[in-house]
Amino acid sequence: MADDLPALRLDPEGYLIDPADWSEAVALALAAKETIVLTDEHWAAIRFMRAWLDEHRTAPDSRHVIKHLTKTLGATRNRLFELFPYGYVQQACKIAGMKRPRAWSSG
């Protein structure tokens, strides 16, 4: 799956240039590159993020994803950062096919 990445249009940091190029297969490839095996919890976060992007045309702030995971899975506040240990922006946004949120300093 990671071998499919060269065909994708990625910026120099590995984020999709066009979020419309995203698919679940792309997420699997990007996750493999980050050495993350996607679980149901990862998919809950990623699918929420994609739905938010579709509705709002911007990446959700991490607090919205945390609230979703807490409500739907009973996850603790720190669970998002356990799922994506190198940060929300660095891993979750990348795997979910978001453009890198330039204004965010955390993650």
Highest mean pLDDT among 6-20, 45-59, 91-105: 45-59
pTM of the model: 0.88
Dump pLDDT digits (tens) for 86-97. 999 999 999 999
Dump pLDDT digits (tens) for 16-40. 999 999 999 999 999 999 999 999 9
Beta carbons of 19 and 12 less than 8 angstroms apart: no
The Cα–Cα gap between 39 and 19 comes to 22
Residues contacting residue 11 through CB under 8 Å, at least 6 positions apart? 17, 99, 100
φ/ψ bin of 16: left (φ > 0), alpha (ψ from -120 to 50), beta (otherwise) = beta
Which among 53, 47, 40 has a CA at the least distance from the CA of 83?
Answer: 40
Answer whether residue 52 shows pLDDT above 60: yes
Average pLDDT, the chain: 90
Q: Where are the domains of the chain?
A: 2-95
Tokens at 86, concatenated: 């190198």
Which CATH number, 1.10.10.370, 3.90.1150.10, 3.90.110.10, 3.30.10.20, labels domain 2-95? 1.10.10.370
